[in-house]
Amino acid sequence: MSQFIKDANWRYATKQFDSTKKVSKTDLDTLKEAIRLSSSSYGLQPYKVLIIENSDLREQLQPASWGQSQIVDASHIIVFANTINIGNAEIDTYFKNLIETRNIPSEAIQGYSDFMKSKINNLSEDAKNTWTSKQAYLALGNLLNAASELKIDVTPMEGFEPSKYNEILGLTKLGLNATVIAAIGYRHEDDATQNYAKVRKSNEDLFNNL
């Protein structure tokens, strides 16, 4: 069995974190890099990632998170916030970075830039926001996998009120919306769910080989 599969079997959605244990800066930097290197459509990465350690701020967020204990007991809370109504500004920023990173003339990518703008700008605002939120989930997947390798627990969470998160964190004025959150840290020894058998569909139920 590959190490990746072993790590995937090890991880679970931690229900109770050990509040005395903190993720080290070195490991946090590794998780940040895993998120940064995540795939995204066109490479745009149309989201912002907030890493919250401040305990006072997390106490403010807990009521907007259905009162869940992971918000205050985990080492950090990571908020993936998608870009709202993405448009030319974000696309131009991406291509500026591309030109500088690859040291190529702007003329070389003008056609691709025009193509991307035509595809994205023709979407409705709702469609744009749905699309950018999906991109944030790709980054969450990379976080889950990298954390499992480091034996850091992660609880991905949709059980929260985005509008209240947006208000508390000032996201709306930044053109962002809280999409999904993840609590990271270390499982408490009393968390009984760590011993539950993992329930997944069988290969026969999940896959169709055509």
Reported confidence tier of residue 89, pLDDT bands at 50, 70, 90 = very high
Q: Decide if 210 is inside a domain.
A: no
Looking at the chain, how many residues does it have? 210
Secondary structure of 136-155 as H, E, C letters = HHHHHHHHHHHHHHCCCEEE
What pLDDT score does 6 carry?
Answer: 96
Q: Decide if 171 is inside a domain.
A: yes
Give exposure, 175-194, as e/b (b: 16+ Cβ within 10 Å): bbbbbbbbbbbbbbeebeeb
Q: Decide if 196 is inside a domain.
A: no
Q: Decide if 207 is inside a domain.
A: no
Reported confidence tier of residue 204, pLDDT bands at 50, 70, 90 = very high
What pLDDT score does 83 carry?
Answer: 98
| Mean pLDDT, residues 185-196 | 97
Per the DSSP assignment, residues forming a β-bridge with 178 are 81
What pLDDT score does 197 carry?
Answer: 95
**Tokens read off for 12:** 């679970």
CA separation for the pair 23, 48 (Å, rounded): 21
Q: How many domains does the chain have?
A: 1
Q: Decide if 77 is inside a domain.
A: yes
What pLDDT score does 27 carry?
Answer: 98
Reported confidence tier of residue 65, pLDDT bands at 50, 70, 90 = very high
Reported confidence tier of residue 144, pLDDT bands at 50, 70, 90 = very high
Q: Decide if 187 is inside a domain.
A: yes
Q: Decide if 33 is inside a domain.
A: yes
Task: Tell which residue, 143, 159, 134, 138, has the closest CA to residue 82.
Answer: 134
Residue whose tokens read 């997390």: 58
| Owning domain of residue 62 | 3-191
What pLDDT score does 40 carry?
Answer: 97
| Span 2-60, pLDDT tens digits | 999 999 999 999 999 999 999 999 999 999 999 999 999 999 999 999 999 999 999 99
166: CATH: 3.40.109.10
Q: Decide if 30 is inside a domain.
A: yes
CA separation for the pair 50, 79 (Å, rounded): 5
Q: Which runs of E-coded beta strand occur in 16-157?
A: 47-52, 76-83, 153-157
pLDDT at 1 exceeding the cut of 90: no
| Span 97-143, pLDDT tens digits | 999 999 999 999 999 999 999 999 999 999 999 999 999 999 999 99
CB count, 10 Å around CB of 171? 21
